[in-house]
Structure formats: structure tokens, C-alpha cells
Amino acid sequence: MRYTEAIKEFEEAIRLAPTYAQARKPLGLLLLGLGQVENAREHLFSLGHKPDQATLQKLQAVTEHINKCTDARRLEDWTTMLKEAKAAITSGADSSPQLCACQAEAHLKLHQLKEAESCMYKARMYEPSAAACQSKFFGMLSEAYIFFVQAQIDSALGK
């Protein structure tokens, strides 16, 4: 769970040597694991480089599942939202607190409060990174989404 430290180290390496491509791929992979597909894409395709086929497939799969999750949320299709959030995690965004919060929100809307609480517990285990604070999830700042879902769960519990 030391993503924040690793991201800072890679960002510092890139700041000191902007053309140092060896720092961009691992940073892109870390960001992809956090579900930050646009930030990941920026680093994976920087300086005219193209990621290897496996990384490209992972990026495309995570992006596709997050997009489907977004569509399902807009349509209030909580079962599909839950399925797509799980698929995004399985496809490579396995350290995304926002996707854990997404699962929690879907469980909450499906009246599965214990599962919602469990997913939020996982979401809160991750330390926020500077990159996450600037990225958006469902149209709101990523960290704000986690607090938004937590507030919904607390309300359902009468807190």
C-alpha cells in the first residue's frame, strides 16, 4: 500500500529527467492499478513510446469496464455497475479505492449494507495520492467520491 511513495518517486525522477522513459512505464502501470486510466495512458504513451501488447490490453480492458460502470451508474443499473467495477478490478485496476467505493455504492443501492460496508473498508485502506486527488471519477474528484459513498452508507446506518 505504498503507492503514494512510489508515485512520488517516479514523478520526481520524471521531473528531474523529463525524457527518462524508464520511469514512465512503471508509473503508468501504478496509475493503471489505481484505476486512473487517463493518467496511466499519458505516461504509457509518453515520448512517442507505445506500451507492450499485454499492457495495452490491460489498459483497454480497464478503460472499457470503467466506462461501462459509468454508464450503468448513470442508468441506475446497480447490478451492472457492480459487475463492471469487479471486472475493472480483475482486469488490472486491483488497487483502486474508487472502484471499491463504486462496489460499495452499488451494494448500498441493492440494499446489501454489509457488503457495502466491507467494500468501503477496503476503499479506506488505500492512501490517497496526489494524482488521485486531481483525477475525476463519475464527474467528481476521486477522493470526494469516496467521501460521498461513505456519507450515503452512514446515512443508511443512521449515523
In order along the chain (159 residues), what is the average pLDDT of each group of 10 residues?
80 86 87 91 87 94 96 97 97 93 96 95 76 65 86 92
Kindly indicate whether the domain formed by 3-156 is annotated with CATH number 3.10.20.30.
no
- State the pLDDT at residue 129: 57
Is this structure's pTM higher than 0.75?
Answer: yes
- State the pLDDT at residue 112: 97
3-state helix, strand, coil in the chain (%, to 5): 75, 5, 20
CA proximity to 142, closest of 72, 107, 90, 93: 93
- State the pLDDT at residue 138: 75
- State the pLDDT at residue 102: 95
